[in-house]
Amino acid sequence: MATHHTKMLIIGSGPAGYSAAIYAARAMLEPIVVQGLQPGGQLTITTDVENYPGYRDVVQGPWLMEEMQAQAEHVGTRMMWDTIVSVDLENGAPFKAIGDSGDEYIGETVVICTGAQAKWLGVPGEQELGGKGVSACATCDGFFFRGKKVAVIGGGNTAVEEALYLTNHSDDVTLIHRRDELRSEKILEERLMKNPKISVLWNKTVESFEAGEDGALGHLNLKDTQTGEASTLATDGAFVAIGHAPATELFKGKLPMDGGGYLDTEPGTPKTVIPGVFAAGDVTDHTYRQAVTAAGMGCMAALDGERYLAALEDAQEAAEAAE
């Protein structure tokens, strides 16, 4: 067991964490990134990435994250293969965190980048066909289904927005919802119902995802929640949009969160209510949820952390000069 000290402790290793690290390292803050259970985050379980700026050709999600990690290390980040299991933020700086390894991390600032995970249905075929027709992000993967049949599962804002977004690529979009009314905002519902490219299957659950002859998704097996009747829907793509779960269990009772468990920050900034503690990426963002927005927020957190430390130093010097 060891104790590690840093000016900036970054918890989580998706685009937000690595970007925070790159900026913090270049500002000589000698950051530590504690990577967590899934180093690289959500992008390590996707395949093609076509919307991260800087690459004219499609790149692979895991490769992109390896590059970000290597870049962060190259400029001086210490990467720890550990998972934070408890944090002490409420007693002010320096903040303490304990890793699964038993190691203790002491940070003058903390940037929380623990991300979020898409919720999945947990039915047969869903995992196996991930990246082969089944996805949890239309903005990321919709483009690959140009001119094809697609389905969206869910009845909240995300599902409706994803269905609407997919009409940019497909003329045949089906929304499948388990009840007979949507949970989404009325304005979105109106847009959905007015759109001739979208049809809605009410009171249906997806029982399984089945591959076609080419090994990619071929159809969905559905069940009517009222009658129990079974049916199938042929589709090339299926987008599961039943919500996300931010990884904020560690911070319950320590930092304010919204009803969905996302960390609250000062609007337009990554600042939490505790000075010196910042949150960036999907852990605080249920609206955009993109690698590039998470990276941007990570950068903002590192810059704000640097300013916070500089202001503390100035205040200390002024106090010493006044003595």
Q: Which are the catalytic amino acids? A: 137, 140-141
DSSP 220-235: EEEEETTT--EEEEE-
Closest distance between ligand NDP and the C-beta of residue 11, in Å? 23
- The residues in 114-153 that bind ligand NDP, with binding defined as CB under 6 A, are 121
Smallest gap, in angstroms, from Cβ of residue 113 to ligand NDP?
Answer: 19
Structural tokens at position 295: 């990276």
Tokens 């990570």 locate to 298
Applying CB under 6 A, does 36 fall inside the site for ligand NDP? no
* Candidate segments 35-43, 80-88, 126-134, 242-250, binder of ligand NDP by CB under 6 A: 242-250
> Contact 126/120 with Cβ under 8 angstroms?
yes
Instruction: Considering only the stretches 4-12, 31-39, 158-166, 248-256, report the one whose residues sit in contact with ligand NDP under the rule CB under 6 A.
Output: 158-166
- Indicate whether 159 belongs to the interface with ligand NDP (CB under 6 A): yes
Using CB under 6 A as the binding rule, whether residue 226 contacts ligand NDP is answered as no
How many Å apart are CA 316 and CA 222, to the nearest integer?
A: 65
DSSP secondary structure letter of residue 30: -
Min separation Cβ 153 and ligand NDP, Å: 6
Residue 63 CB-density burial (10 A; 0-12 exposed, 13-18 middle, 19+ buried)? middle
Q: Which of residues 243-272 bind ligand NDP (CB under 6 A)?
A: 243-244, 260
Least separation in angstroms between CB 262 and ligand NDP:
8
CA distance 172 to 264: 38
- Note whether 222 binds ligand NDP by CB under 6 A: no
94 touches ligand NDP (CB under 6 A): no
Cα–Cα distances (Å) from 180 to 42, 134, 225, 226, 294, in that order, read 32, 24, 10, 10, 35
**Given the rule CB under 6 A, which residues bind ligand NDP?**
121, 154-159, 161, 178-179, 183, 205, 242-244, 260, 286-287
